[in-house]
């Protein structure tokens, strides 16, 4: 009998175990075993990569040689070595096709544990024996010994003691968990064991393979393995969810449950790193599934711990928008998107939401309002409430704030004129049912204004109004401009005498146009009628005040230059009348250059035009 084994049965040792007259299966005693060179090439490639399956296959080849020496079988190595291109195309069936050709050439029976290989060979009239693959039992990994009941993550790096994060989401500590310094050999052993387990076990898979980085999911662990040159040393980071929660464990649970079940929603779960965002997302996913919804996830890597009825998807062809296109064919009721970070992620999230799919996205943010502001410029302003109507901000493992997001046509808070009515996004605190923010377009600029009963809210609106008035007037005036607000819908603008006629325009046409644009009555006056703050004209490098040393910036065609020779190489703060503007590092030449047209430069030029004291301090 002539037999040609493929790589799958050599790895499992299925050839040598059948060289036995008492075997219940087909006996290969006295058979001629033709081993393709391409199989040997695959095994060598796997062994060189540190994979245990490669070494198991080589051990089977050694057993076959021993059986040949005992006179029980005859072994021949046939065919040519696989080229690098053929090995790279092994997943497309390149190696399998070569093995089938060898079986035909030697009139041999193909032995395989690969179902696809068996079916194709039978279709090509190649005699085939198909053996069910063995299910490999994977025990505990060595890296699991670093975990205890309170360990959230383990951090192993060559040349450093083992470290771990322990505690719960409300209080996490990071510190050493052993005294022995780890070395390269130990970490390579851990890496090899982890890779083999992920490839062999049913509850493991390799999520990402790139030069220098491998990410695997094994049981409940997400494990990232980095090596030079991507990292400066060998490193393994293993993370697992410490707790499984239910939605009823959180504050605002009833409000969130009601909103989720009322209709398909767009929800952002926001919070700082480690706050418990993914844990809440898991609880939401399980709640929705248990409530009779079809739920899917979009993750890279896939590490949410959800029930088996929830299918977890990753990037399709390296693109999450391709995953979204596929999901639109599946039509889930809700999709959990973990994590929404890049512009393409927000675009994909919005596309699915506008297609009618309920979406729950996980977003990094240090404030609840920051999660919504991430959408500005990425999603058309008027569509934001259709994309996201609920924000749940989590802090220390619990829902701290929940916002309702809606659109109303109204006069923005703090402005009075009827003709200022426009679409306004109203962000309301679900607990107090009071508006806390408004987002709207003010003179072609999207602004987010806090709504509060204190004077702080009025100063916020006033600051925006002053900036827009200055922007309009400075487009016409060549000299200094000073703006004073007189209530919510009136302002006085002070300009140089030479600029008054240009600002007013023929027959008052230009100032009337600016008033119409802004919806504010403007009175134009001479700067001589305005009394500047004390000391505003005393710009000198030789004097200091409470805010620091006074400096005199120079405005060139391309930069605003602040001379700071005595601060060369230092990091300094720049302020205007004591109000912080920005932080900068002084060049070796002793100056700070700010490119004109930038937001910082505009703020600085505005301060200079308003004759405010520009100061510097370390």
Q: What is the Cβ-side half-sphere exposure of residue 110, based on CA atoms within 13 angstroms?
A: 31
Banded model confidence at residue 295, pLDDT cuts 50, 70, 90: very high
- pLDDT tens digit sequence for 538-558: 333 334 444 578 888 888 877
Report the C-alpha gap between 475 and 240 in whole angstroms.
57
User: Mean pLDDT, to the nearest integer, of 69-86?
Assistant: 83
Which pLDDT score, from 0 to 100, does residue 397 have?
A: 82
Supply the DSSP string of 514-562, one letter for each residue.
HHHHHT-EEEEEEGGGS-PPTTTT---TT-EETTEEE---EE-SSEEEE
Give the integer Cα–Cα distance in Å for 491 and 178: 67
- Helix axis angle, 277-290 relative to 253-262, nearest 10°? 50
d(CA 458, CA 596): 29
Q: Which pLDDT score, from 0 to 100, does residue 618 have? A: 74
Contact 389, 402 (CB under 8 A): no
> Quick check: 25 and 18 in contact, CB under 8 A?
yes
Number of Cβ within 10 Å of residue 360's Cβ equals 26
Q: With residue 78 as reference, give the H or E element that holds it.
A: strand 74-78
Kind and range of the H or E run holding 206: strand 204-210
Q: How confident is the model at residue 471 (pLDDT cuts 50, 70, 90)?
A: confident
> What residues form DSSP beta bridges with 586?
none
Tens digits of residue pLDDT in 163-180: 998 876 567 788 999 889
Burial of 187: CB neighbours in 10 Å, binned 0-12, 13-18, 19+: buried
Write the pLDDT tens digit of every residue in 474-524: 778 877 788 887 665 678 888 888 888 888 888 788 888 888 777 778 888
d(CA 522, CA 126): 91
Structural domains of the chain, with CATH: 2-130 (3.40.50.1010), 142-239 (3.30.450), 247-450 (3.40.50.300), 456-529 (3.30.300.20), 544-617 (no CATH)
CA pair distance 585, 576, nearest whole angstrom: 18
Give the distance, in angstroms, between the CA of residue 605 and the centroid of all CA atoms in the same chain: 36
pTM, whole model, 2 decimals?
0.55
Cα(197)–Cα(206) distance, rounded to whole angstroms?
10
* Contact predicate 615/548, CB 8 Å: yes
* C-alpha to C-alpha distance for 214 and 318, rounded to whole angstroms: 15
Using CB atoms within 10 Å of the CB of residue 107, give its burial: 0 to 12 exposed, 13 to 18 middle, 19+ buried.
exposed
Query: How many residues appear in the chain?
Result: 618
pLDDT-above-70 percentage for the chain? 87
The mean predicted confidence, pLDDT, of the chain is: 82
Distance, CA of 146 to CA of 153 (rounded, Å): 9
Neighbouring C-alpha atoms within 13 Å toward the C-beta of 464: 24
Question: How many whole angstroms separate alpha carbon 134 and alpha carbon 344?
Answer: 42
- Angle subtended by helix axes 509-518 and 497-504, to nearest 10: 70
């Amino acid at each position: 009998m002539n037999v040609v084994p493929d790589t799958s049965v050599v790895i499992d040792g299925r050839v040598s175990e059948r060289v036995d007259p008492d075997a219940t299966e087909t006996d290969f005693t006295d058979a001629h075993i033709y081993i393709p060179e391409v199989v040997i090439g695959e095994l060598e490639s796997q062994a060189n990569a540190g994979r245990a399956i490669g070494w198991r296959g080589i051990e089977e080849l050694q057993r076959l040689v021993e059986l040949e020496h005992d006179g029980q079988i005859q072994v021949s190595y046939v065919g040519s070595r696989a080229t690098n291109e053929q090995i790279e195309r092994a997943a497309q069936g390149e190696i399998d096709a070569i093995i089938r050709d060898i079986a035909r050439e030697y009139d041999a029976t193909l032995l395989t544990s690969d179902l696809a290989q068996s079916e194709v060979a039978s279709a090509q009239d190649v005699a085939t024996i198909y053996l069910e693959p063995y299910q490999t039992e994977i025990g505990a990994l060595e890296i699991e010994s670093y975990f205890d009941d309170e360990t959230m993550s383990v951090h192993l790096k060559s040349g450093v003691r083992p470290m771990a994060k322990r505690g719960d989401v409300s209080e996490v500590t990071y510190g050493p968990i052993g005294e022995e310094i780890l070395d390269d050999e130990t970490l390579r052993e851990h890496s090899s064991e982890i890779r083999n387990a992920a490839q062999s076990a049913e509850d493991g898979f390799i999520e990402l393979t790139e030069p220098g980085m491998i990410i695997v999911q094994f049981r409940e662990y997400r494990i990232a393995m980095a090596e030079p040159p991507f990292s400066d040393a060998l490193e393994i980071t293993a993370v697992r969810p410490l707790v499984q929660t239910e939605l009823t464990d959180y504050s605002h649970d009833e409000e969130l449950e009601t909103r989720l079940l009322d209709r398909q929603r767009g929800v952002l779960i926001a919070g700082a790193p480690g706050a418990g965002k993914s844990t809440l997302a898991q609880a939401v996913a399980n709640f929705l599934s248990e409530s009779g919804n079809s739920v899917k996830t979009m993750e890279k890597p896939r590490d949410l711990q959800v029930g088996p009825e929830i299918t977890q998807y990753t990037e399709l062809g390296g693109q999450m928008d391709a995953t979204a296109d596929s999901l639109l064919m599946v039509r889930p009721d809700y999709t959990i998107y973990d994590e929404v970070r890049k512009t393409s992620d927000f675009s994909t999230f919005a596309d699915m939401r506008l297609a009618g799919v309920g979406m729950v996205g996980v977003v990094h943010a240090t404030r609840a309002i920051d999660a919504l502001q991430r959408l500005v410029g990425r999603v058309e302003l008027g569509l934001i409430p259709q994309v996201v109507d609920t924000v749940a901000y989590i802090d220390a493992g619990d829902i701290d704030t929940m916002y309702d997001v809606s659109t109303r046509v109204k006069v923005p808070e703090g402005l009075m004129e009827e003709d200022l009515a426009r679409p306004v996004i109203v962000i309301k605190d679900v607990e107090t049912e009071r508006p806390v923010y408004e987002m709207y377009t003010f003179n072609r600029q999207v602004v987010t204004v806090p709504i509060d009963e204190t004077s702080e809210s009025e100063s916020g609106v006033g600051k925006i109004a002053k900036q827009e008035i200055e922007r309009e007037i400075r487009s016409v005036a060549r000299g200094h401009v000073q703006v004073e607000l007189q209530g919510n819908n009136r302002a006085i603008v002070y300009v140089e005498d030479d600029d008054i006629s240009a600002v007013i325009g023929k027959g008052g046409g230009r100032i009337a146009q600016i008033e119409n644009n802004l919806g504010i009555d403007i009175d134009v006056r001479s700067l001589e009628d305005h009394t500047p703050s004390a000391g505003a004209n005393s710009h000198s490098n030789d004097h200091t005040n409470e805010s620091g040393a006074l400096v005199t910036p120079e405005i060139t065609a391309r930069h605003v230059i602040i001379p700071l020779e005595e601060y060369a190489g230092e990091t300094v703060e720049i302020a205007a009348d004591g109000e912080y503007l920005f932080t900068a590092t002084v060049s070796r030449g002793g100056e700070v250059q700010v490119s004109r047209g930038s937001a910082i430069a505009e703020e600085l030029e505005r301060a200079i035009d308003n004759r405010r004291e520009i100061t510097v301090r370390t």
